[in-house]
Chain A
């Protein structure tokens, strides 16, 4: 199959276009393929799932924006944002829309150290028995509102967000390589949240952390409550 043929098949399969060399004589064919594909019924309709996840992402970006004014003002703004968002999507206030302690802009200019996620209306939520997280172990947790990875190093438990800092994709644990991989753009983070590699044309921020503690043989994460609970 010709190169342009492969690009067209990729487009029809709904896959991302990667860097590829195509004969400029084929540009008109490619344009026509795009035109025909976008004439399909419903082609230009955006998925609600995408709209919601991007909204969470933007909320988090804005929450980390600029120099922090007085804490009270910040807090009120976040509560308001979270409330508006919760009303518009019904369920699932993600931690991504909540406060990142301190300043720093995650995507545009990553802070040198990961920030800790601190929801303003949160609670300590039990995630798993301490015995399920042995020394050196990494476990995913999913509380509905937030998702992340727990790890135990030198006896201490810590956690990072399970959502890529570029695009709101869920990270996957590669147990062998001991790293967190993003299936969307082949980015990879260490289990501590540091950026290991990516092929993106932007700077990528490290994964924010969660506050974690162990109480009565259970690992607990400080996370937002489910709306309505």
Chain B
């Protein structure tokens, strides 16, 4: 749907935007139940103030602003400070989906490719392939304890790489 158009009704607003709102929030919290809860909060908060006569672009900007507040609240009530934020510089209301999953995969690749092989493997198995610690340990022919330590070190190293390359 083009940015200057308008939606026929609120259900069209919802159906057209729920996907990217969820994807964006998932990329900021990393878990499905939290992303679903926050998506629920965004639409509950945004739907009433939204007028169906608003343009697509206006609707999306409003949803993004709401999502930003909802995410900030989430971090305040869990860890007490904002671990991730929603920045709007990358967000194009005309193509809201663009800034999420594909970019994330590319960023992950850049980080992983900068790590020693065993670090890269443990992170790939656990985060990208979804293996349990036990399964990952078996895959790497090591003990669960070793895998745990390796994962911890690998994540710390990955965080340093991420900071260095600015993702």
Interface residues of A, Cβ cutoff 8 Å to B: 1-2, 5, 7-12, 14-22, 24, 27-41, 43-47, 50-51, 54-55, 57-59, 61-62, 65, 81, 84-85, 88, 107-108, 167, 184, 201
Q: Which residue of A lies closest to B45 (CB)?
A: A108
Alpha-carbon distance A57/B32, docked complex (angstroms): 19
A12 surroundings in chain B (CB, below 8 A): 126-127, 130
One of A7, A17, A35, A84 near B108 (C-beta < 8 A): A35
B40:A167 contact, CB within 8 angstroms: yes
A36:B108 contact, CB within 8 angstroms: yes
A34:B23 contact, CB within 8 angstroms: no
Answer whether A37 and B31 are a contact pair too, CB < 8 Å, given A12-B126, A54-B40, A58-B43.
yes
Alpha-carbon distance A158/B102, docked complex (angstroms): 51
Looking at chain A's contact residues, is the secondary structure mostly helix, strand, loop, or mixed?
A: helix
Interface residues of B, Cβ cutoff 8 Å to A: 9-11, 14-15, 18-19, 22-24, 26-34, 36-37, 39-40, 43-44, 47-48, 73-74, 77-81, 83-84, 100-101, 104-105, 107-109, 111, 123, 126-130, 133, 148, 152, 155-156, 158-160, 162-163, 167
How many contacting A-B pairs (Cβ < 8 A)? 172
One of B10, B32, B80, B155 near A62 (C-beta < 8 A): B10
Alpha-carbon distance A15/B35, docked complex (angstroms): 11
Answer whether A2 and B18 are a contact pair too, CB < 8 Å, given A19-B78, A36-B127, A39-B104.
no
A11:B22 contact, CB within 8 angstroms: no
A35:B107 contact, CB within 8 angstroms: yes
A201 surroundings in chain B (CB, below 8 A): 73, 77
